[in-house]
Amino acid sequence: MSGKTIRMTLKVKLLIFEFKERYPQLSPEFISDILNVNLGLVKKLINEGEIEVPSKMNDYGRTKKNIRGR
C-alpha cells in the first residue's frame, strides 16, 4: 500500500453492527462479503464491540444566535 489507511464511515460501522445484532450467526467473513468491506476492518470493529456515535446535541459548530433563532 501507499501508506494510507482505509477508514470506514460511521454509516458503514452502524450497518455492520446492525447486521451483527440482527443476525448473530453471521461470520465476519460473510458480513465483509455482503458489504464489500475489508475483512480485517470488520473483525477489528466486532472485536472492539463499541463505537462512538456523535450526538446532535453536541453540535459545537452552532452559535447561540443560531440556537435562539435570531
Radius of gyration of the chain, Cα coordinates, nearest whole angstrom: 17
* Distance from C-alpha of 11 to C-alpha of 53, rounded to nearest angstrom: 10
The angle formed by the CA atoms of residues 41, 10 and 63, to the nearest 5 degrees, is 145
Q: pLDDT value at position 13?
A: 87
Give the total number of structural domains in the chain.
1
Among residues 48, 47, 51, 40, the alpha carbon closest in space to that of 15 is found at: 51
CATH number at residue 32: 1.10.10
Residue pointed to by grid coordinates 476492518? 41
70 found inside a domain: no
Dump pLDDT digits (tens) for 30-65: 998 888 888 998 998 889 887 777 776 666 665 555
Task: Give domain status of residue 26, yes or no.
Answer: yes
The three-state secondary structure class of 37 is coil
pLDDT mean over 22-29: 92
Which residue range forms the structural domain that includes residue 28? Answer: 7-50
pTM above 0.85, yes or no: no
In-domain check, residue 56: no
